[in-house]
């Protein structure tokens, strides 16, 4: 017999965790819709070329892409993130700016699976296109930070940096290449390989032997334009005005190549080192242009749903909401009464379930117990003859007869208590 299991790096999300996921998405939607962001549902796959704009030197593109040729010969990739898709959608539909959207859904990266790192992982995020204003940078960061607070998370640190304008980034990259090449022999083999691809990413290395060389590397601050540093200063002032605490980390380069100016990352201090980044984002002012659109500013963030929930577990907050029904209907006559009554209860917005296959009253009461329902409605032949129902309060074990036509008002009253 075949022994089918989920593919490595993927999981089934079952109740009660699945209810927690939905609650997570709902809270996020409420928060960002209150700030003028509307919902966008981009496709889960695009032409590979869309994602090549993430940077051909990034690991997301070179090593982690799920790409294939479809039956029509198109080179397709499953989305590794959604910013590129949102920008592609902007170019395709040309909405009026500012265009503020939010999204939620799975992404795919061929990474080494471990706790907090999956091959299919969910993100929620926002993107705002067409605005250069530093107040928007601060608004975007503030929305992420208030969302974490809404979940009850306290141990979240915000790191922020600027990568300057596109020319600044290139110059800095060359400066780093020169510096790291001079000290190449002190770098680990992994960092030497990274250096050949993308000198900026060497700064990301957490490997101990690299730290001394990294500590002496030139700083981005020394090579950015006046306008980029003024923008950064304005972002910090706008964050201060909202009392949002941050740490400036001039080694923060992030894993995707489209970033310009403001970049930021949220780290949970309650998680293990390997997967502490629970969200991140920044400006990507050249991305729309790279996808064939007009020069358009853009900024956004994405939060890893899976990792943020791990942080919630570590802090003991945002527990799974109850998925229990309100009422369990026990029918010992023929099942038809439960069939009709459940239908009527559900139509009135009362969560109701029942047992099937005309099982014994004992077995049905066991199921009622397991369902977590506060009340059982028990219907036997006496109740049918008298047009009544026995209403049992499950925890107290108290029960009383209720006329059939008064069930809804009685239950609505009791459920409010």
Residues that bind ligand HAM (CB under 6 A): 81, 83, 109, 111, 117-118, 121, 123, 125, 127, 255-256, 277-282, 284, 300-302, 304, 306-307
CB-nearer residue toward ligand HAM: 84 or 341: 84
CB-nearer residue toward ligand HAM: 134 or 278: 278
**Smallest separation, CB 163 to ligand HAM (Å):** 12
**Smallest separation, CB 196 to ligand HAM (Å):** 22
Interatomic CA distance for residues 395 and 127, integer angstroms: 48
3-state helix, strand, coil in the chain (%, to 5): 45, 20, 35
CB-nearer residue toward ligand HAM: 143 or 411: 143
Interatomic CA distance for residues 143 and 139, integer angstroms: 6
CB-nearer residue toward ligand HAM: 45 or 121: 121
CB-nearer residue toward ligand HAM: 204 or 410: 204
What are residue 304's DSSP bridge partners?
123
Coil, strand or helix at 353: strand
Coil, strand or helix at 322: coil
Interatomic CA distance for residues 287 and 302, integer angstroms: 16
CB-nearer residue toward ligand HAM: 10 or 399: 10
Indicate the pairing of strand 398-403 with strand 75-78.
unpaired
Q: Which of 195, 196, 192, 191 is nearest to 207 (CA)?
A: 191
CB-nearer residue toward ligand HAM: 119 or 354: 119
**Smallest separation, CB 125 to ligand HAM (Å):** 5
CB-nearer residue toward ligand HAM: 58 or 332: 58
Name the closest residue to ligand HAM (Cβ).
304
Interatomic CA distance for residues 170 and 224, integer angstroms: 10
The tokens describing 331, both together, are: 């029918």
**Smallest separation, CB 164 to ligand HAM (Å):** 17
The helix (H) or strand (E) run that includes residue 304 is strand 298-304
Interatomic CA distance for residues 346 and 305, integer angstroms: 31
**Smallest separation, CB 259 to ligand HAM (Å):** 7
**Smallest separation, CB 130 to ligand HAM (Å):** 14
Q: Which of 149, 114, 87 is nearest to 300 (CA)?
A: 87
Interatomic CA distance for residues 10 and 95, integer angstroms: 35
Helices 134-151 & 305-315 angle (0-180, nearest 10): 50
Interatomic CA distance for residues 79 and 53, integer angstroms: 12
**Smallest separation, CB 91 to ligand HAM (Å):** 16
Q: List, in sequence order, the alpha helices (H) in 73-132.
A: 83-93
**Smallest separation, CB 318 to ligand HAM (Å):** 16
């Amino acid at each position: 017999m075949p022994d089918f299991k989920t593919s490595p790096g993927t999981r089934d999300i079952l109740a009660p965790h699945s209810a927690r996921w939905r609650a997570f998405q709902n809270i996020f939607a409420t928060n960002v819709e209150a700030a003028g962001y509307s919902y966008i549902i981009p496709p889960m796959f695009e032409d590979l070329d869309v994602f090549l704009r993430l940077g051909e030197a990034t690991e997301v593109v070179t090593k982690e892409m799920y790409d294939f040729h479809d039956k029509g010969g198109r080179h397709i990739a499953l989305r590794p993130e959604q910013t590129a898709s949102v920008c592609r959608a902007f170019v395709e539909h040309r909405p009026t700016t500012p265009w503020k959207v939010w999204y939620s859904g799975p992404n795919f990266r061929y990474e080494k699976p471990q706790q907090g790192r999956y091959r299919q992982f969910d993100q929620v995020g926002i993107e705002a296109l067409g605005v250069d204003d530093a107040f928007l940078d601060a608004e975007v960061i503030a929305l992420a930070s208030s969302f974490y607070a809404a979940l009850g998370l306290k141990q979240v640190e915000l790191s922020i940096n600027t990568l300057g304008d596109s020319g600044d980034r290139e110059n800095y990259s060359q400066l780093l290449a020169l510096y790291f090449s001079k000290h190449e022999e002190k770098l680990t083999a992994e960092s030497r390989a990274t250096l050949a691809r993308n000198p900026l990413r060497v700064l990301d290395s957490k490997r101990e032997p690299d730290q001394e060389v990294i500590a002496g590397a030139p700083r981005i601050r020394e090579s950015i334009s006046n306008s980029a540093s003024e923008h950064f200063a304005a972002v910090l002032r706008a964050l201060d005005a909202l009392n949002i605490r941050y740490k400036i980390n001039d080694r923060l380069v992030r894993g995707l190549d489209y970033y310009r100016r403001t970049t930021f990352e949220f780290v949970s201090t309650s998680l293990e080192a390997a997967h502490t980044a629970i969200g991140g984002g920044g400006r990507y002012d050249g991305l729309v242009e790279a996808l064939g659109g007009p020069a358009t500013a853009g900024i956004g963030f994405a939060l890893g749903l899976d990792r943020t929930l791990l942080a919630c577990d570590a802090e003991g907050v945002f527990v799974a909401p109850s998925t229990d029904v309100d009422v369990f209907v026990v029918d010992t006559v023929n099942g038809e009464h439960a069939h009709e009554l459940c239908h009527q209860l559900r139509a009135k917005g009362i969560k109701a379930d029942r047992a099937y296959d005309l099982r014994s009253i004992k077995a049905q009461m066991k199921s009622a117990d397991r369902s977590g329902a506060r009340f059982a409605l028990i219907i036997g032949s006496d109740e049918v003859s008298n047009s009544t129902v026995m209403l049992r309060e499950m925890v107290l074990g108290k029960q009383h007869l209720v006329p059939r036509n008064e069930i809804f008002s009685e239950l609505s009253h009791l459920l409010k208590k």
